Structure 1
């Protein structure tokens, strides 16, 4: 059938117009030139705009790829190239210009179409050029500059101030390049240099301040590696090139290199350290107990002298406490004790710490007599120092605490010992009394460690690791080793740069403990040491060690503790199977270990640690180890734990395994205190969770479901598996939760993570959060079914009142945070029930593309504890706070006096990033006090017209800046145009906010 065409008068006019314009256009086309291009711009405007959109879209896709590359590199401390930064800026500009073009297209007049069309064509060409430039075949980043240096924790300087000032004066001058600081051990050389190191970082006059502890066993390769690490530069595989590479890096810098605790002369040139000269302005400082070493290396020497009697007494009295001053006799004895310390700061500190809190005159007199007898009865400077130190050791009185201290000397000199691992070692060695629970033993270990720290026999060290660490002062370690040599038979060659195992004749029959920690031993020879009394063998951190011969353990039947952690060992010899007295077998991070022989005879074994190995089968005979209290079976290749094995291990207190477990099987382990486990079936998890309603582990990490990324071990959750002691965490991934009210959480759960559970509609649909009243942290990610977090018509979700951290990520269908009316804050004398999220401190919303309004005014009034808000890349977000009754309230305000509502009184951080539709932060009449505001980012929120900060004021009424540490806005031109509810806020904040132009990681 033919199609009927109806022509109106307007369409007839349009046809006539085109019939007239067509011939004209053809004539112009024949002549070419600007007129033709202008008409083309006019006719093809919409088509060209669509073409520009496609090209900009291609650019944005390329941008995402580049961002992934950039973010990965930034995490490796690399710096984005300037040309890449410029590329991102150009792309951002063309995105903004495209928005402008689209807005103009809706209102452009007939006569302006050609001009706009011309501009669009220019932008198309520009987009092509930007796309071409965005290839970056050589990468998007370059090696970043090294960090300036490391700041140290320091104690107050006493009598060392003068020598510190002399050293500083020579550092700042041009005459001296090499400086030596010498003095006996414990005199305070390192303390002085730590103060100078920190002052150098604060003054910022050098490109780098490099601190390296050299220690007794000098090794040029290790020193080169430590310097490279401090400079964050990569060295080639060929170690012969290291000196040349370091020389090239250092010659480009003006630096201070501090080499602490140097024991022998060495050549700077051989290591790759340029000789300090007036031309390069760099400095090298060494500390050493030997003035000969300082002189032989061409240093200007500064000797640290003993403290004067007055300074020594002040230091002693400050540490021992004010009680001493109240007893004239005790104070007199204290004076005499200080005399016996010989002005040695380390001796004063340790002895004063051991006498802290003692106010009995007899005890003070006895302490003085003991100290005098020690010093008089020995000859030799080192021995005198050791005897002064040993006074504090003896005052510990408890032999187990003393042995805990002596054990620390088994680690290398200046070694940072993780506190948790040290306590674990004390437990393994029976240095802590066997108590009913593991927690009780750890508490006892913590008390011992604190006592040693408080008595200055151990010192805590600053570290970038999350874990706390301690170390032993090298003088105290020497003292400990002298005590051990006097009454024990130990072989301690830890950190001695050994490349071979000590020869067989050194393995004496009376050996009790052997420590070869942190060496470079690559093989064990075919020897069979006859050491029937050997109870401890520590071989950890010999990364090159691959194999141990069968004969090695043949005559070590007394062995109780064997640690091969962090070695490259492939398999254990079968002779391990005969070590029937073994109580701890530690193989942590033996990432090449694939075979462990039968353990059936090791019935005394209490600890088996196979964390991060690649064994494929559970060691044979493990079911016979009924004494096991600690079992870590995390192995990337371990597939199955045979049924009923766990039921034989009824004494387990610590269990880590990623193999799927049956809930009732785990539930029968009634002594478990720490559990990391994984359940494929939600029913197994529920059976176990119900068992936790009674007595269960005090700490656990439970994974439920099947990861979308394939193997659970490759999932980001598992990036910190070594830190199993997370506090009561449950993670659901790719589970069918939400269809029925089946899932029960342990009441004590503190952290909940839900990922890729697409049947879940809201937390109200299931029993997840109805009784979990200790829940503090909740993270929901990639759940397509979620439209709201809380549906008040289904559940009150009382447990959400206790949540302190809420993270919502990639919820593509999330439309609102809370569905249903939130109860208003009570204005009567009767207290209202706690509001939803009333404990919330941190809130993150990332890539939730459907939500338009975040909080209602009613909900925001209950967020009195909120300190941190981040809303990032939510494409449709229009309002952070919006009232459902905004229009009605607006009318009420017109009838009566306007009342301002203040929300988020504790807000410290606000990040609003890439929210293209954001129009307002707060609805009319609502403001946010900036009294506590420390961090602010508003990036690419171009439609945001007004900012509702209320600036704090002095009593005089004058505005005062908030405590803002970092403030970033982009683009700056938007910031200049945006309005503020508080007229003073813009002037105050503009003084501190910076233009965000480097396209840093915004996630």
Structure 2
């Protein structure tokens, strides 16, 4: 090859283009490496955008067409890169220059695609808004005539404004919830909008609630907001329900058009005041108390029919029901407090107590309170009563998460036990008692967490109770922009709640003289909810000067940047909650806060731990996470010997953590397996009750970790371990708890299969398995190594970016030779399978494995380019199929996946069939079907319910079918020609939701 050098020198004389060719020839390897790096960067951006895309889809948004096209461009470039890699390794010497020129062009193309992938205005747009929200409703007792009267007004053209009035607790809201749901069910209007107004009128919140239901964003300017809202409502047929209106307000100030008769614009408001309804020009519909018969029926439905079996008891029950005055809330609440009581003496005593209370009533509200106070007093335990009253510190009609409320009760000292687990049990027991006594209502909150809500009348009663002695000062969720004046901070205040407001500033001259104040709640909604972010960034030095009795201070999710030094003097402080204070940069010395049991600094902006933090020897709860912190200084952690709850994403030392013997709940990171194993060894098999441990030097502390980084905030319900970039097989035996729930492997390239993992053989409670970007794995379970019995309990299996994965279960060669098969029970509990970017997989389930998948509910496959079949056919079936896929032979139908609820197939270019001939999937539970990018798939083997005449019927649970393109759907072959007509009514070609 030496003779080529002089030749190149001669060639240079022939011109620039030839020289460029020679340069490219020489730099081919350098250019290919450069292209690899740029394609890798491109894929990193793609991963980030995919996470944004998934988050937006969860918010019911629709991904932009330009974003989808960009993803396609990235995939095209990945394909081009693979083609170039193959050519690079096989290219002849004379053609290197031509390939190099092509690589240079690709480098520029990748640069351009990378620049196009910024999408500063977001990756998704709002989807078409739903017509409304279906509300949970109790059974409607009585009031049928009133409901029909309201319905008649809504259906006619004579009335635009309807006012439903009646005393508190009489059932106005319940009636309107039933009407809301009926309007949605019958689809008579474009929109049905529900807004809770409440006592503290908040125009901003009303506007936001209406705008959110319309998928409309509003500016901050008040006049502009009203104008935009009015424009979005005009021209639509809608019913706007304004629940719990206490005083007159102008519809035009909000942006609600005056209803025009005959245009399908209706406004319904509920109010305790008939004057309010009349002042707003409403057609008044008055809700009357229940009749004696209706009252008794409602009471017995909640207390049980058995109480009237005894003749003497029947008369007592009748008198108790009469004392309720036909008010559904009073009837249900008192019935709840007497449920399970069968002693006639106790019933007689209850009647006497109720009679004494009702005799002292003064005014309508007090009449209701006296009935309800009966149930409050029957709680007996003052601590349970205080737990109930504490709920009044939250805004009206606000869903309070159960876990959050229990934490607050612990902070207040209303719940105490030796262990945190026992306190949680006690908290749930109290909540159950309050729910069973109908003093709280169980609801599902906005984040789908189980929550409780306090009826506004019960909240009024609770605040009425606190009006006699040490008082509550409560102004919550009212868009308050100024701190209450100093004269309002009286000396008898016990608890002050100003949560969820928009206080712009805390004046420097305000120094409330509240020596008895024990609780101060100034927190904002997480993400500031519907309200604008609070403006104050700091608290004046003298604000806490006279609050030396303060025990609980909550400033979470506020805009505060530092705390004053005077916070150090609050020696009685029991809980300091600063979670979500992203701008918090400074904390003064904590040395004197020896009473502090809870310190929550999760998601703050601290760059170092607070001064003298090691002095907090009584801490039982520590939340600590900040972008500026990586790990705790050595020696601090062991000082917290009483710690029961630790939530952090800092790297911890295993041996130090192991010295905290009282830990019950923990989330943390370990730098490597060595630190994790040091911790496991030091605790000698006594693991915390719940834990989230992530192991690996490349863990992204603030970015994504399997998409569940938010779980680290609250480890109460988890038993998870994550391994990222670890050499699992070289580590030797790894000690893990046998009750491990979920495990995750990412970028653990030496992992071959789960059968190699010794610690999984003893786990008896596994329910989730995630494996991501592990290059070495070829199968999930290898039966030649071990049966891997722990897999039998796995309910969720998620596999992604496994470039060498070939099969889920591998059967030993000796087993195959004897025609034996895999144990179908390997994944017998499996409910969901997610497979993404596994380019070598050709089949998902074998016929034998499928026999054990009787509980499978979700199957999602995405971007598996070699996938040909979802369910493999056995050899006999294969012989009965010709090359065109036409079915022959037996007419016997085999049903598989009987509980399938969702089937999603995306980007499977070689997929030819879901299953073989004669195999069908029943649709009794099917809710959603999504298929895109599967051009070779010709048949969808769905078995629809059959009518008596043999025709196919609608699947009972099916909600939506999303397919693309339309031409592909219309070309499909169906076993029953009637099926496509039935299913087409569910089809959408635009988006999945």
TM range (shorter): 0.7 to 0.9
Q: Is 1:516 matched up with 2:516?
A: no
Report if the CA contact (8 A) 1:214-1:259 is conserved. yes
Q: Is 1:471 matched up with 2:471?
A: no
Which secondary structure state, in structure 2, belongs to the residue aligned with residue 302 of structure 1? strand
CA separation of 1:532 and 1:711: change in aligned 2, threshold 3 A: closer
Equivalent of 2:576, from 585, 599, 602?
585
Q: Distance in 1 between matches of 2:790 and 2:154?
A: 60
Report if the CA contact (8 A) 2:606-2:628 is conserved. yes
Q: Deviations over 1:289-311 (max 9, x none)?
A: 11111111111111111222221
CA separation of 1:875 and 1:600: change in aligned 2, threshold 3 A: same
Equivalent of 1:485, from 467, 478, 483?
467
Q: Deviations over 1:35-90 (max 9, x none)?
A: xxxxxxxxxxxxxxxxxxxxxx9xx99x9999969777655545578x979999x9
Q: Deviations over 1:301-357 (max 9, x none)?
A: 111112222211222222221122111111111211222212222111111211222
Equivalent residues in 2 for 1:157-176 (5 A)?
Answer: 157-176=140-159
Q: Is 1:772 matched up with 2:755?
A: no
Residue 901 of structure 1, CA deviation: 6.3
Tell me the matched-pair count. 893
Residue 679 of structure 1, CA deviation: 0.8
Equivalent residues in 2 for 1:310-389 (5 A)?
Answer: 310-389=293-372
Which has the larger displacement, 765-774 or 303-312?
Answer: 765-774
Equivalent of 2:413, from 418, 421, 430?
430
Q: Is 1:661 matched up with 2:644?
A: no
Which secondary structure state, in structure 2, belongs to the residue aligned with residue 610 of structure 1? strand
- Aligned residue number for residue 199 of structure 2: 216
Q: Is 1:152 matched up with 2:135?
A: yes
Equivalent of 1:419, from 384, 402, 408?
402
Residue 532 of structure 1, CA deviation: 2.3
Cα RMSD for the two superposed structures = 3.7
Q: Distance in 2 between matches of 1:807 and 1:653?
A: 32
Residue 714 of structure 1, CA deviation: 7.9
- Aligned residue number for residue 103 of structure 1: none
Q: Is 1:735 matched up with 2:726?
A: yes
Q: Distance in 1 between matches of 2:954 and 2:250?
A: 55
Residue 725 of structure 1, CA deviation: 2.6
- Aligned residue number for residue 872 of structure 2: 882
Report if the CA contact (8 A) 1:264-1:293 is conserved. yes
Report if the CA contact (8 A) 1:693-1:747 is conserved. no
- Aligned residue number for residue 904 of structure 2: 911
Report if the CA contact (8 A) 1:312-1:345 is conserved. yes
Which has the larger displacement, 67-76 or 904-913?
Answer: 67-76
- Aligned residue number for residue 623 of structure 1: 614
| Structure 2: unaligned runs, 5 residues or longer | 2-38, 77-112, 525-532, 882-888
CA separation of 1:66 and 1:535: change in aligned 2, threshold 3 A: closer
Report if the CA contact (8 A) 1:961-1:988 is conserved. no
Q: Is 1:843 matched up with 2:833?
A: yes
Q: Distance in 2 between matches of 1:137 and 1:527?
A: 43
Report if the CA contact (8 A) 1:180-1:285 is conserved. yes
| Structure 1: unaligned runs, 5 residues or longer | 2-56, 95-130
Q: Distance in 1 between matches of 2:944 and 2:138?
A: 40
Residue 654 of structure 1, CA deviation: 0.5
CA separation of 1:626 and 1:430: change in aligned 2, threshold 3 A: same
Q: Is 1:819 matched up with 2:810?
A: yes
Residue 464 of structure 1, CA deviation: 3.5
Q: Distance in 1 between matches of 2:488 and 2:168?
A: 29
Which has the larger displacement, 558-567 or 955-964?
Answer: 955-964
Q: Deviations over 1:666-695 (max 9, x none)?
A: 122121111101011111112223456622
Report if the CA contact (8 A) 1:251-1:280 is conserved. no
Equivalent of 2:936, from 943, 950, 953?
943
Report if the CA contact (8 A) 2:132-2:191 is conserved. yes
Report if the CA contact (8 A) 1:178-1:298 is conserved. yes
Q: Distance in 1 between matches of 2:599 and 2:709?
A: 21
- Aligned residue number for residue 725 of structure 1: 716
Residue 459 of structure 1, CA deviation: 1.3
- Aligned residue number for residue 255 of structure 1: 238
Q: Distance in 1 between matches of 2:732 and 2:124?
A: 50
- Aligned residue number for residue 760 of structure 1: 751
Q: Distance in 2 between matches of 1:398 and 1:976?
A: 67
Q: Distance in 2 between matches of 1:596 and 1:927?
A: 64
Q: Deviations over 1:471-520 (max 9, x none)?
A: 21111111111111113233233334432222222323333222222222
CA separation of 1:604 and 1:872: change in aligned 2, threshold 3 A: same
Report if the CA contact (8 A) 1:858-1:883 is conserved. no
Equivalent residues in 2 for 1:640-651 (5 A)?
Answer: 640-651=631-642
CA separation of 1:889 and 1:307: change in aligned 2, threshold 3 A: same
- Aligned residue number for residue 562 of structure 2: 571
Report if the CA contact (8 A) 1:689-1:746 is conserved. no
Which secondary structure state, in structure 2, belongs to the residue aligned with residue 730 of structure 1? strand
Q: Deviations over 1:224-272 (max 9, x none)?
A: 2222223221111323311111111111322111111111111111221
Report if the CA contact (8 A) 1:677-1:703 is conserved. yes
Q: Deviations over 1:114-150 (max 9, x none)?
A: xxxxxxxxxxxxxxxxx9xx99999986554432112
CA separation of 1:419 and 1:544: change in aligned 2, threshold 3 A: farther
CA separation of 1:140 and 1:776: change in aligned 2, threshold 3 A: closer
Equivalent of 2:433, from 447, 451, 469?
451
Q: Distance in 2 between matches of 1:257 and 1:899?
A: 56
Which secondary structure state, in structure 2, belongs to the residue aligned with residue 758 of structure 1? coil
Equivalent of 2:846, from 856, 860, 869?
856
- Aligned residue number for residue 34 of structure 2: none
Q: Deviations over 1:758-789 (max 9, x none)?
A: 23222233435222232110011122222222
- Pick the structure with greater CA Rg: 1
Structure 2 length normalisation: TM-score?
0.83
CA separation of 1:168 and 1:250: change in aligned 2, threshold 3 A: same
Q: Deviations over 1:411-441 (max 9, x none)?
A: 2222221111111111111112x21211111
- Aligned residue number for residue 277 of structure 1: 260
Report if the CA contact (8 A) 2:839-2:866 is conserved. yes
CA separation of 1:137 and 1:546: change in aligned 2, threshold 3 A: closer
Which has the larger displacement, 184-193 or 527-536?
Answer: 527-536
- Aligned residue number for residue 679 of structure 2: 688
CA separation of 1:361 and 1:811: change in aligned 2, threshold 3 A: same
Q: Deviations over 1:86-115 (max 9, x none)?
A: 999x99xx9xxxxxxxxxxxxxxxxxxxxx
Residue 644 of structure 1, CA deviation: 1.9
Q: Distance in 2 between matches of 1:414 and 1:492?
A: 14
Residue 875 of structure 1, CA deviation: 0.6
Equivalent residues in 2 for 1:924-1003 (5 A)?
Answer: 932-945=925-938, 963=956, 965=958, 966-970=960-964, 983-984=975-976, 987-988=978-979, 991-993=982-984, 998=989, 1000=991
Q: Is 1:500 matched up with 2:482?
A: yes
Which secondary structure state, in structure 2, belongs to the residue aligned with residue 754 of structure 1? strand
Q: Distance in 2 between matches of 1:693 and 1:712?
A: 32
Structure 1 length normalisation: TM-score?
0.82
Q: Distance in 2 between matches of 1:237 and 1:318?
A: 49
Q: Distance in 1 between matches of 2:684 and 2:792?
A: 21
Report if the CA contact (8 A) 2:822-2:848 is conserved. no
CA separation of 1:427 and 1:140: change in aligned 2, threshold 3 A: closer
Residue 470 of structure 1, CA deviation: 1.5
